[in-house]
Structure 1
Amino acid sequence: MDQDLYAVLGLKRTATNDEIRRAYRRLAKDLHPDQNKGDPVCEEKFKRVSAAFAVLGSPEKRKRYDAGEIDSMGNERANPFYRDYAAGGGAGHHEGFGGYHNGGAGGGDFSDIFGDLFGRRGPSGGAFTMRGMDYRYNLEISFLEAVNGVKKRVQFPDNETLDITVPAGVESGQTLRLRHKGGPGAGRGEPGDALIELKIQPHPLFSRDGDNITLELPVSLDEAVLGSRVEAPTIGGRVTVAIPKGASSGQVLRLRGKGVRNPRSGTHGDQLITLKIVLPPVIDPELERFMQEWAKKQPYDPRARFREAAGA
């Protein structure tokens, strides 16, 4: 018999996906065969709860179930025209749709078939076994936590807490698999897994290009002209960087080994520092006079190569 899957989980049809997941976890934990050894009633309820979550736990299947396109077992419903035709006998008196009819030679209806599939005994006569459902979660971490690695304590919907190790070098969208931290299995079936998709927050200074870290470093006019040693941030802390004499905006300095550790090769990328010359917020008269005199004595055109390349 087709059953109301929402009623099986003790929910209304307006329940959210999170409410469905929490209800399943609570019921599956209470009814798990390992907690109720030798209790056929709990075993039967556990199977019904698991079957209900197999449909309602999937947004796509839930949508089709609510629309009446699939039944409580997740199977396509027969076209009403053919079902009515079969039930009425039709021209040749069929024994029900699909060759089965209550009380007929076929013996049993579809609920009997599914009872065999999900019954107390498997094909070999052993106890019913089914792997638990996988649970999916999102975990947001900072940019530096992603590139350097971090341990995070997370709390699951059933209030269970777990310490998770996020390895160095993970990327946004990558999924961590926690074995046997999903839904409970039935009988000797192993628990499902918890799949944790990582979301990485952007950083105000750093960006990532593969295993390399990129950074734009402001330098003053005198530091660029005369050369200097300045502090620059890296994902591992602050370091001293040598600004070459006569540096220009857009020039790139490479700090080897200061990038992201590649988990496969074990090597580190580099940090690429792009220099950006920044003038003082106020140009004082002395600097202005100096530049006017200097421009008269040392004229140069920084855009000459642009005109040459354009053929002008």
Structure 2
Amino acid sequence: MRDPYAVLGVKRDAGQEEIRAAWRIVAKTVHPDQNQDDPFATIRFTEVGRAYDLLRDPQKRSRYDQAHREAEIRREMELRRMEQMRRQQSARKAQPESVQGTTESAEDVVSRIFGIDSRQQQAASNAAPPLHPSANSERQGPSGAPASSLDNSDLPVPAARRTTAAVDILSALVRRIRGLRPVVDKAPDLVCDLVVTLEDLMKQSRVTLEANGETLRVPLATGTTDGTVIRLKDQGHRINDLKRGDAVLTVRVAPGPFRVDGFDLRMTLPVTIENAVLGCETTVTAPNGDDLPVVVPAWSSSDHVIHLDGQGLADEEGNRGNLVVELRLLLWDRPDDKMIDLMRSLREGLYL
């Protein structure tokens, strides 16, 4: 489903009166009766009704706004993480290799700060006796490492010591102070929406998604509905020297004659004024194509709902939701003089 605010053309801080007025205008504009030559008029009209149903309910609107904010935050964090990964990867590739064919990591530099590592111990064993700590601390080079002298000229200075990025050394130093271990780097997850049809959910089909330059095949298991999150291991972004991320897909049902509400399905049934007042018997088409009988009670107002059990989606245990039929009062295509006179007499208190 598209952004309901964009569908109705209102701002995110719009009040209920503004939302209701916008819904009436847009619904009248895209109504199928007004666009009989447009094959997609019914889909747009259903989308408008679905957007209004979401925004007019304070709880649904609050949950949607919260989910939208969280999605924006996650997207921003993923973009920042990917950019940081690319910078780190570029920095690693730009570092020249050691003349001896060995490199010294930031963790090795920090290890030398807190205690001499094995390589330095081996080099120091062949060198002159170490200087007194006080004397050593007084002879510091520009980078903070001990400067070479006549007493320790035989001690080799690794090339990586001069090329290790300062930010990596600082990060390793903070981890050592805090007692943390460096974690295994992993590429960011691929987070996106998976648009499916109601028929795909009913048949539990295997759908495909073109993302990240690859084709993902996603199975729709029992219990999948609008908003379900599916995680595919090792199907996310690829970055060299990093473990591949996952694909995190949020199922979104494409607009159609039926609206998905959990495992229930909702549809609109237009009724005329006389049928709403007197009641009637009619049929509706179920998602599987069957015609189901519906009894409209007498004196039914707009937004009255009729529940048809077991005609919705199946949950994880195989139990199906309901088909919820919402009544909408519908006027005739042309004005009716008798109905106009009757309504006028009721409003003005005149009785014929």
* TM-score of the superposed pair, with normalisation by structure 1: 0.47
* TM-score of the superposed pair, with normalisation by structure 2: 0.43
More helix by share: 2
